Structure 1
Amino acid sequence: MEEQHPELSRQVTEILHKRKTPEKLWKETKKTWDIALPAIITAVTQFSLELVTSAFAGHLGDAELAAVSVVQNVIDGFVYGVMLGMGSALETLCGQAVGAGQVGMLGIYLQRSWIITIVTALFLTPIYLFASPMLKLLHQNRDISNLAGKFALWVIPQLFAYALNFPVQKFFQSQSKVWMMTILSIASLALHVLLNWVLVTKLGHGLLGAAMAGNITWFLLDISQIIYAISGCFPDAWNGFSWLAFKSLTNFVKLSLASAIMLCLELWYFTAVILMVGGLKDAAVAIDAISICMNLQLWTMMIAVGFNASVSVRVSNELGAGKPNAAKFSIIVNVLTSGILGIVFAAIIIGTKSKFPLLFTDKAQVIKKTSKLGYVLAATIFLNSIQLVLNGVAVGGGWQFSVALLNIVCYYAIGLPFGAVLGYKFNLGVQGIWWAMLGGSFLQTVILLVIISRTNWHKEAVEADDRVRTWGGATAPTDLPQPQETT
């Protein structure tokens, strides 16, 4: 029939394809939210652990609150990004292994990542040990630096808790089994509040009590997640500890470093912007205004982080399964869903631009300055809703090194220099600096969209196949699925 009536056959195929599209869209949307929703809740609850610590420290005094804030924003902020990045290689490798049907490799990958993140934690430990003199070199207040140095020493165990936490979370996410992780995170937040109340408020242990509460919370969270991972709930993925974890570490380290560099360049960009704002004439008011906006931006980013995790898992799974068209469809669904939510949040900011600053301050100058940033904040929120999803695509496809280079060009070669020119040369102040920052982010987003639209996804599926074969060690399969067209 196809040979006799090619046009009729083509029309029938198109009709069937159109009928299947709504069903495909619903299924992909459901898969997206199955991963994104618990990932969002987990991100919010774990982010809230630091807020709880700050809240209890604030009741101890201004100096204690300042010390905790410095450690959280300067030291932990740097270390957290590095550790999260070093653990993010698992998103690529575990996701593609699951798609290829080689779930037995996940346990080996998890152990390799633990080795790398623990060693990384050892290298980062001196930052905590010498926090006080480092802060003084950065011209921070001497008394606050001394107090922050003590607090940094007390929270060193949390550094190693990060090393265990991020890899095991990627292990869960790659298999789309994340609700238990979310429940454990919520329980940890409740426990953290209770521990702070007991150790800081009732027993009066001050900052030491706050540090102890954080250490206990993080390690109980890690222990509960690890028990869940190795207790038999993942019989195909976890086959016990193995010496194979020490094989192929070089390639694993390369991908982990690329992930860490990519993520840290993103985080340091915002830090650099704040430092740049600090040099303006009205620095105090400008920093207050941009801090308010960045806090709101950070909360909305938690939503986008969920879709970042979702698209990373879906793309890596489908590439590993040899289904490039399914990977492309997943990208479209995740970008559209996150983008729509970004539009909603941006509209809320614009509609309340003269009101939302009142949630944070009652100072007239700060309220006025923050209100003027309403439009650029709304634009940033929308752009982040797209950009973070595209970064998730890069992780799912294993493009971390390329995106790291792109970040250097867009952020540090273009965004920051233009920010300095607009902010200082043309006297546009904090608005000029932020518009330039947004320009760098916009350029990166456009380039990523072009790259993704022109990517040969069949080739990506073949490379995913090769990656699973090459890095699988002795567990590597001999017969993996080949890239195939899906309709």
Structure 2
Amino acid sequence: MDMEEEKPYQISLLPVSEENGLELSKGFRRIEILEEVKKQLWLAGPLISVSFLQYCLQVISIMFVGHLGELALSGASMATSFASVTGLSLLMGMASALDSLCGKAYGAKQYNMLGVQMQRAMLVLLLVGIPVAFILANTENILLGFGQDPDISREAGIYARFMIPMVFAYALLQCLVRFLQTQNIVFPMMIISGATTMLHFPVCWVLVFKSGLGNKGAAMANSLSYWINVLLLALYVKFSPSCKETWTGFSNEAFHNVRNFLRLAIPSAFMVW
């Protein structure tokens, strides 16, 4: 029986047509776009949660005040809106300058500069918080000057005065969030913000109802919860291995080049404000 000789396999290299090449390039682009979308959602989701949870602290306080009566609720709502417009949005806008400064340092692999930039921003924002605190201390007179109801203005003034400690915590918190965000450390922020929000419920309940402080207690709970959030994030930055290259301790370098920070911070504040 004759055996046919096995012929070696031959691979023919056919030229790829221009249409096939375009289809392949489109396929690769789709894959790249999908991967980029996944990365963006992976980062954006926790960041949205962080902002939402931090905002919930003020909403929860107002919810507890709502059980004290219409006047207390009106005063707390007006004080919260007044504080957001006159101070908190200003601080948030100035802190957004760190998005550019920290991003530039991180991209250049000057990791220690992230900590320096954050310290510099904290110093400036704490100083800005002083006139903001002065404005909140005079909330009642300012509202009366704009023709608001005297009773509501008085309640808003009381609530705003007890919110003053929150202003400085808010300034530090914004800097810490930008510092960690630049390094894509978003899930620890979300967990800490969630824990702070859950803790805020019993804190409000105790200070509003059990202590008899009423709307003052709600404002105090606001300040306390924001400071707890700052403390937890600061402890994470100090002890987490993820920040060992970007946080190397306090530095005198933070007192230099403040003008460069202000060149970005002031326009950023006006864009948000």
Report the TM-score when normalising by structure 2.
0.89
> What corresponds to 2:72 in structure 1?
64
SS at match of 1:59: helix
Partner residue of 2:183 out of 175, 180, 186:
175
Distance in 2 (CA, whole Å) between partners of 1:146 and 1:133 is 9
Partner residue of 1:254 out of 238, 258, 263:
263
Partner residue of 1:52 out of 48, 54, 60:
60
Question: Given residue 26 of structure 2, which amino acid in structure 1 is its aligned partner?
Answer: K
Change (3 A) 1:26 1:151: same
> What corresponds to 1:94 in structure 2?
102
Does the 8 A contact of 1:45 with 1:185 survive in 2? yes
> What corresponds to 2:4 in structure 1?
none
Change (3 A) 1:22 1:53: same
Partner residue of 2:51 out of 22, 43, 52:
43
- TM alignment of 1:96-175, pairs within 5 A: 96-175=104-183
Question: Given residue 245 of structure 1, which amino acid in structure 2 is its aligned partner?
Answer: A
SS at match of 2:169: helix
Query: What is the Cα deviation at residue 146 of structure 1?
Result: 1.5
1:76 aligns with 2:84: yes
Does the 8 A contact of 1:104 with 1:237 survive in 2? yes
> What corresponds to 1:195 in structure 2?
203
1:32 aligns with 2:40: yes
User: What are the ranges of 5 or more consecutive residues in structure 2 without an aligned counterpart?
Assistant: 1-14
Distance in 2 (CA, whole Å) between partners of 1:32 and 1:199 is 40
Query: What is the Cα deviation at residue 8 of structure 1?
Result: 7.3
- TM alignment of 1:296-445, pairs within 5 A: none
Does the 8 A contact of 1:35 with 1:176 survive in 2? yes
Query: What is the Cα deviation at residue 228 of structure 1?
Result: 0.8
Query: What is the Cα deviation at residue 225 of structure 1?
Result: 0.6
> What corresponds to 1:209 in structure 2?
217
1:226 aligns with 2:207: no
> What corresponds to 1:236 in structure 2?
245
> What corresponds to 1:427 in structure 2?
none
- TM alignment of 1:471-486, pairs within 5 A: none
Give a deviation string over 1:327-368, Cα, whole Å, max 9, x none.
Answer: xxxxxxxxxxxxxxxxxxxxxxxxxxxxxxxxxxxxxxxxxx
The number of residue pairs the alignment matches comes to 258
Distance in 2 (CA, whole Å) between partners of 1:60 and 1:108 is 45
Query: What is the Cα deviation at residue 11 of structure 1?
Result: 7.6
Higher relative contact order (CA 8 A, sep 6+): 2
Query: What is the Cα deviation at residue 10 of structure 1?
Result: 8.0
Give a deviation string over 1:91-137, Cα, whole Å, max 9, x none.
Answer: 11112222222222111111111011111101212111211110100
Distance in 2 (CA, whole Å) between partners of 1:78 and 1:9 is 63
Does the 8 A contact of 2:116 with 2:254 survive in 1? yes
Query: What is the Cα deviation at residue 262 of structure 1?
Result: 0.7
> What corresponds to 1:348 in structure 2?
none
SS at match of 2:160: helix
Q: Alignment RMSD, CA only? A: 1.9
Change (3 A) 1:236 1:204: same
Change (3 A) 1:246 1:11: farther
Distance in 2 (CA, whole Å) between partners of 1:172 and 1:205 is 36
Change (3 A) 1:10 1:246: farther
| Bigger radius of gyration | 2
Does the 8 A contact of 1:118 with 1:160 survive in 2? yes
Does the 8 A contact of 2:86 with 2:132 survive in 1? no
Question: Given residue 85 of structure 2, which amino acid in structure 1 is its aligned partner?
Answer: G
Distance in 1 (CA, whole Å) between partners of 2:222 and 2:170 is 12
Query: What is the Cα deviation at residue 33 of structure 1?
Result: 0.9
Q: More displaced, 16-25 or 194-203? A: 16-25
Distance in 1 (CA, whole Å) between partners of 2:130 and 2:20 is 62
User: What are the ranges of 5 or more consecutive residues in structure 1 without an aligned counterpart?
Assistant: 1-6, 265-487
Distance in 1 (CA, whole Å) between partners of 2:157 and 2:220 is 15
Change (3 A) 1:253 1:98: same
Query: What is the Cα deviation at residue 167 of structure 1?
Result: 0.7
Does the 8 A contact of 1:86 with 1:116 survive in 2? no
